Amino acid sequence: MNFIRQRVAGVLLVFGLILAWISLTGVVVRQTLLLSAQAPSYALAALKSPAIRSTVSELIIKSVQNQFPIVGQIPEAELRPAIEEALTQPAVANEFANAALQVQQHFIGLNDQPIILGGPQLSAAIAQIIASNDLSAQQVIKNIPFSYTISSDSIPSAGRYYSKIGSLITISLIGALAFLISSVLVSVRKSRTIRRIGIGFVGMSIIEVAIFWLLPRYVLPNLQSGLWVIFSAIMTASAGAIEPLYLGIFGAGVALIVTSFFF
């Protein structure tokens, strides 16, 4: 009888941990990818990185040079630093943040239009930096639309799932609690079951950090280029906002492991 109870407790434990992981992942995905209201602040945080400004500059230079040969008359050694400097100005950074908001809105199914990195504020800032003492040259540069167009086809859309993620988080969380509590109640070796739940929590927090924090911060930028570097930086900034969640799950796991030794 005890053998059967322990086996049942083990099954309940596995289902509970799976549902807990689904709930945690749902929260992380919603925070990092789906909360459009936070996109501008995440983008501004990402833009503080010199590597991101360099990537944005490279995309814009290639785009503009293909469309406006006159840009080729500006040495790239002068143009690139000017764009990177312009990206630090508040008005230009806000243009970038607005583009990030549009990307996120596309991802959740609220926008299907092409997205523009850059714009009039960037052009005006570049003109001021490159030709601060030449008004006629300033006007010429200012009229060049320094921008890069992101096609909507290049961005995945999760709009069909967006409205369901809240329910998924709630249902999986309730299910996880029910299964995990039941596993402890059914178990003959309660201390062992509690310890396994704690180990599961610690493992979940480590996996989530690896996927949503370490991967975009250290791996993706080295494997991809261009837009993927920018998206990775924004994901890293957004994941950083929920570090307390990771620490909370990790801490709960450690607390359960320690508590298990007192049963």
Nearest to 16 by CA among 166, 260, 201, 190: 201
State the Cα–Cα distance between residues 135 and 188, nearest whole angstrom: 83
pTM attached to this predicted model: 0.73
pLDDT greater than 90 at residue 200: yes
Contact indicator for 144, 68 with CB cutoff of 8 Å? yes
Percent of the chain with pLDDT strictly greater than 70? 93
Q: Which one has a higher pLDDT value, 19 or 112?
A: 19
DSSP output for 13-28: HHHHHHHHHHHHHHHH
Predicted confidence band of residue 37 (pLDDT cuts 50, 70, 90): low
Closest C-alpha among 120, 184, 80 to residue 71: 80
Q: Is 208 exposed, middle or buried (0-12, 13-18, 19+ CB in 10 A)?
A: buried
Say which range, 11-20, 29-38, 95-104, 124-133, has the weakest mean pLDDT. Answer: 29-38
pLDDT tens across 203-248, in order? Answer: 999 998 888 878 777 776 666 667 777 777 777 777 767 778 888 9
Q: For 22-31, how does the pLDDT look when each residue is reduced to its tens digit (9 = 90+)?
A: 999 888 887 7
In angstroms, the CA 249 to CA 209 distance is 11
The pair of three-digit structure tokens given for residue 56, joined into one six-digit string: 């944005």
Q: What is the mean pLDDT of residues 78-105?
A: 89
> Residue 67 forms beta bridges with which residues?
none
Q: What is the share, in percent, of the chain residues with pLDDT greater than 90?
A: 31
Domain assignments of the chain as residue spans, ordered by start? 39-154
**Cα dihedral 204/206/207/210 (nearest 10):** 160
The pLDDT value given to residue 19: 96
Rounded Cα distance between 104 and 73, Å, is 36
- 3-state SS class at 52: helix
